[in-house]
Structure formats: C-alpha cells, structure tokens
Amino acid sequence: MYFDQIMISSEEKLAKPDVRIYIRMLERTGMQPEQTIMIDDNPNNIEGAKAAGIYGVLFENAQSFEEEFSNILARCFGRSKDQ
C-alpha cells in the first residue's frame, strides 16, 4: 500500500475527533474538504471530520458502507458505483 503522506497523532499532538487534526491534514495535503471523505467505525470521529467540512461515512457493515459510500461519491464527484 502506498500513501502520499502519513499523519501520526502523537507527533501532531492531536487526535481524532479533534477538528484541528482534520484541518491540519487538509492544509498539509492541499485537499478541499468538500472533496474529501473520512471513513471510520467511530461516530465521534465522523462528527469531527464533518465539523471540518469533510464528508463522513460510518463503517458499520459492508452493505451499509457500500450504499453510503456510493451516495457520497455521486454527491461529491458526480459518479455512481458503476462508473
């Protein structure tokens, strides 16, 4: 697996769901919040991301994740899961 950047919360002295860690990630990567998706199994972390303007998907199970993720892709990027 390859990542352009890795943020380690202990090095940042911030952790999810603190909105500041999401904002720092956006600033560091140059990403726009409305084009960013946060996937997590903790609802508190999703709320932190949403507070930064990031779309959040709560992972509860594969079926509900696929539906919600497809909906967000369509809203964010104008794509369906079939594209």
| 12-38 residue pLDDT tens | 999 999 999 999 999 999 999 988 888
Please report which confidence band the pLDDT of residue 67 belongs to, taking 50, 70 and 90 as the band edges. confident
pLDDT average, residue stretch 2-10: 78
Structure tokens at 75: 């809203």
Q: Quote the pTM value.
A: 0.76
N- to C-terminal Cα separation, the chain: 23
CA distance 21 to 32: 14
Q: How far apart are CA 54 and CA 34, in angstroms?
A: 6
